[in-house]
Amino acid sequence: MTTARVVLCLCRALARLWPLEVEPSDDLVRSLTYVGDDLAPETVVRAGYGAGIVCGAGALAVCSLVRSASGALAVPAALAAAAAATHVVHALPSAVARARRTRALGSTTGLLGRAVLRMRIEPSPERAAGFAARTGDGALARSLDEHVRRAEGTPATGFDGFATEWADWFPALDRATSLLVASAEAPAAERGRTLDRALSAVLEGTRDRMTAFAAAVRGPATGLYAFGVLLPLALVGVLPAARVAGVGVTLSGFVLLYDVALPAALVAAGAWLLARRPVAFPPPTVDRTHPGIPDRTWPAPAVGCCAAAVAWIAATAMIGWAGPIAGLGCGIGAALFVRYRPVKAVRDRVRAVESGLPDALYLVGRRVSEGESVEAALARASEEVSGPAGAVLGDAVRVLRTLRVDVRAAFLGPYGALSDVPSPRARGAAGLLALAATEGRPAGNVLVAMADQLDELRRAERDARRELSQVTGTLANTAAVFAPLVGGATVALASRVSGAGVGVGAGAAAGGNLDRAGMSAGAALSTADLGTAVGAYVLLLAALLTGLSVGLERGFDRALVGYRVGLALLAATATYLSAVVCAGVFV
């Protein structure tokens, strides 16, 4: 059963708990329409209230089991949990729709760039819109294609309705399409300048929005780092002093705060930050049908189980209580790494191909403008361009000569050179090469212009990521290294201050493991309990902060998040346990 099917069944089950009439908001209706979900808006509203009932009852039951929770605390906690669950369910469709729009807008520059290049060959907005939609992939290209079909047989070009649909989300798109359409009526001497202004409008709009977002996100990200990571870890070290002062801290209360409440707050804050990202530049989509992705799915869980067993045994031999933390972190981290490593390998090759496209297009375009055919220019360029881009050109030339097909089929056909390269940018370039093969010498200068344009697009994406690099770098380093290091040292310090000691080192194998009793008789938490609870918090931080870092930098992509989280969990587990051992020796 797919994830979407599970969510659908869960929403309908929760909706049955609220039989009263409801009225969905216009934003919810619009979001569900964009997402294309089968759920009725009324079902989602009822499911939100049903989730509130379930979560409120669950919070009330949990508080009744925690001895430190009084009746006065249980009722507000239940009401807060119910309100939070209701809001999450009601806001989730809008968040999903916004995330998909943000992801789609990352291809705006590429789509408008292809339209601009098509206009340089023939000043026809209708054909430029069809070419841009046909050679693209994703929600934005599908939207343009739909508007092109609606405009058939009318004076409209397709760009009009397309710009109106997306203007609220990307205002620069309206100005860019207006300039592009106006260039068709401009004198030939002015057309190139008008098209350059159209492309510049999109690039400048992307840079301006990302710069504003980076400036706005620094303050909230700093607060998230301070109150979600630094302060909670620092408070672990004062637990012994709190006990001396008469402040009781029980294991259940500590776990609820550090492993439930704080991670939930981080998830909410991270979702709030991600929802405000204006544009995302996601990596190419690689599905299970790609030849570079193994058909077998069992290696990832098998490697994860083996890594968990080895880590559990090794950690238990060094630190008596650390087996579960080591097994969980290394097991999940290794499984995620193995699961998504092939996807990363495919994407690395795609990026290598895209990095060589400008040189390839420049060489081909220069020779075509001199009167050489596209086929002959491709053959010569395949020998001059190094790396994966040159290999792709060589494959296309071999397909041309062996199967006697045209340029489009040599790149985009079933046996084409780009059949296993899921790159919308490379496919757009191939479509323009195919067009140049029919247009001849006039298209040569357009290919050269496309080479310059691809450099501009790469520069715009690089500038956008650079604007966020300080924030995302801090989050990633905190998740993998800093938080586990501080957490491990703080646990060892708290254990030493309370008089337990951390007997780790050469005598560990002889029975010098961390004492499971851990703390003195007056303490509320043993070293084992404290270390396990903080270790779970550290692993949650590694997953949540890494996911947030990736989402801010590239947009939320499951494969990229899974790969980065796997590496972060492995690094966090090793750093946390090493910090406990080293701090126990030197403190």
Residue by residue, DSSP assigns 172-229 as HHHHHHHHHHHTTTS-HHHHHHHHHHHHHHHHHHHHHHHHHHHHHHHHHHHHHHIIII
| Residue 252 token pair | 């259940």
In angstroms, the CA 531 to CA 541 distance is 15
Q: How confident is the model at residue 575 (pLDDT cuts 50, 70, 90)?
A: very high
- Mean pLDDT value across residues 172-176: 87
Q: How confident is the model at residue 502 (pLDDT cuts 50, 70, 90)?
A: very low
Per-domain boundaries in the chain: 1-105, 106-209, 347-457
Q: How far is CA 109 from the centre of its chain?
A: 20
In the predicted structure, residue 112 carries a pLDDT above the cut 80:
yes
Percent of the chain residues past pLDDT 90, beyond the cut? 15
Q: How far is CA 456 from the centre of its chain?
A: 23
At 113 the pLDDT is 82
CB 459 within 8 A of CB 207: no
In the predicted structure, residue 70 carries a pLDDT above the cut 60:
no
Q: Which of 179-193, 231-245, 312-326 has the lowest mean pLDDT?
A: 231-245
In angstroms, the CA 355 to CA 353 distance is 5
Q: How confident is the model at residue 573 (pLDDT cuts 50, 70, 90)?
A: very high
- Mean pLDDT value across residues 179-196: 86
**Over the stretch 353-363, which tens digit does the pLDDT of each residue have?**
988 888 888 99
- Mean pLDDT value across residues 437-445: 81
At 161 the pLDDT is 87
Contacts of 176 (CB under 8 A, 6+ apart): 112, 198, 199, 201, 202, 205
In the predicted structure, residue 349 carries a pLDDT above the cut 70:
yes
Q: How confident is the model at residue 201 (pLDDT cuts 50, 70, 90)?
A: confident
DSSP conformational letter for 509:
G
In the predicted structure, residue 472 carries a pLDDT above the cut 60:
yes
CB 198 within 8 A of CB 176: yes
In angstroms, the CA 190 to CA 90 distance is 51
- Mean pLDDT value across residues 474-484: 88
Of 188-202, 448-462, 543-557, 561-575, highest mean pLDDT: 561-575
In angstroms, the CA 284 to CA 307 distance is 30
In the predicted structure, residue 36 carries a pLDDT above the cut 90:
no
At 451 the pLDDT is 85
CB contact burial 192-211 (16+ within 10 A = b; e otherwise): bebbebbbebbbebbbebbe
- Mean pLDDT value across residues 68-80: 70
CB 565 within 8 A of CB 539: no
Q: Which of 89-103, 169-183, 238-252, 529-543 has the lowest mean pLDDT?
A: 238-252
**Over the stretch 362-394, which tens digit does the pLDDT of each residue have?**
999 898 888 888 889 999 998 888 888 899 999
In angstroms, the CA 248 to CA 244 distance is 9
In angstroms, the CA 409 to CA 199 distance is 29
In angstroms, the CA 411 to CA 433 distance is 9
In the predicted structure, residue 442 carries a pLDDT above the cut 80:
no
Closest C-alpha among 182, 247, 21, 106 to residue 556: 106
**Over the stretch 507-545, which tens digit does the pLDDT of each residue have?**
333 333 444 434 343 345 788 888 899 999 999 999 999
Q: How confident is the model at residue 479 (pLDDT cuts 50, 70, 90)?
A: confident
In the predicted structure, residue 69 carries a pLDDT above the cut 80:
no
- Mean pLDDT value across residues 476-488: 89
Q: How far is CA 430 from the centre of its chain?
A: 28
In angstroms, the CA 19 to CA 33 distance is 24
Q: How far is CA 187 from the centre of its chain?
A: 44
Torsion sign (Cα): 367, 368, 369, 370 = positive
Q: How far is CA 547 from the centre of its chain?
A: 7
Residue 72: other Cβ atoms inside 10 A:
8
In angstroms, the CA 387 to CA 392 distance is 9
Specify the residue for token string 């270390």.
Answer: 531
Residue 162: other Cβ atoms inside 10 A:
27
| Residue 413 token pair | 């056909």
In angstroms, the CA 330 to CA 574 distance is 8
In the predicted structure, residue 207 carries a pLDDT above the cut 60:
yes
- Mean pLDDT value across residues 125-129: 89
CB 120 within 8 A of CB 446: yes
In angstroms, the CA 24 to CA 1 distance is 28
Cα atoms in the Cβ-side hemisphere of radius 13 Å centred on 76? 4
At 562 the pLDDT is 92
Specify the residue for token string 């350059």.
Answer: 196
Number of H helices, E strands in the chain: 24, 0
At 297 the pLDDT is 82
In the predicted structure, residue 570 carries a pLDDT above the cut 90:
yes
CB 578 within 8 A of CB 315: no
In the predicted structure, residue 237 carries a pLDDT above the cut 60:
yes
In angstroms, the CA 408 to CA 416 distance is 8
At 72 the pLDDT is 63
In the predicted structure, residue 331 carries a pLDDT above the cut 90:
yes
Q: How confident is the model at residue 4 (pLDDT cuts 50, 70, 90)?
A: low
In angstroms, the CA 107 to CA 171 distance is 15
